[in-house]
Amino acid sequence: MTANMEAEVRRHAKQVLDKASAIARAQGIKYTGERREGRAAEEILKAAEQHRCDLIIIGSRGLSGVSRVTLGETGNEVVLKAPMPIVVAK
């Protein structure tokens, strides 16, 4: 991945987190977003452990453009390995 592509990915991630934060705040929900780099499932599980989360909410499909009936690779791995309850959002 080129430096320009990485910068664009980071910019987009910030926009997504900022939007999620604004939506949560508007609903009175305490929200903390963070961007991490690495394998998605591993980073989700690490963050959940580090923040001592009681629950993980994960989408039913990723952004790869491939719509699946199943959870997909990341969701599947998180569901199988997480020590806390998981809610799968459609």
What would the pLDDT profile of 28-46 be if each residue is shown by its tens digit?
A: 988 778 889 899 999 999 9
Those residues with Cβ within 8 angstroms of residue 74's Cβ, 6 or more apart along the chain or in another chain: 40, 41, 44, 58, 62
* Phi–psi pair at 57, nearest 5 degrees: -110, 125
pLDDT at 72: 83
- What is the pTM for the complete model shown? 0.73
What is the pLDDT confidence band of residue 26, given thresholds at 50, 70 and 90? very high
pLDDT tens digits, residue range 56-87?
998 886 555 555 455 788 999 999 999 999 99
- Cα separation, 9 vs 56, whole angstroms: 24
Please give the residue that has the higher pLDDT: either 18 or 71.
18
Cβ pair 33, 41 in contact under 8 A? no
CATH code of the domain made up of 38-90: 3.40.50.620
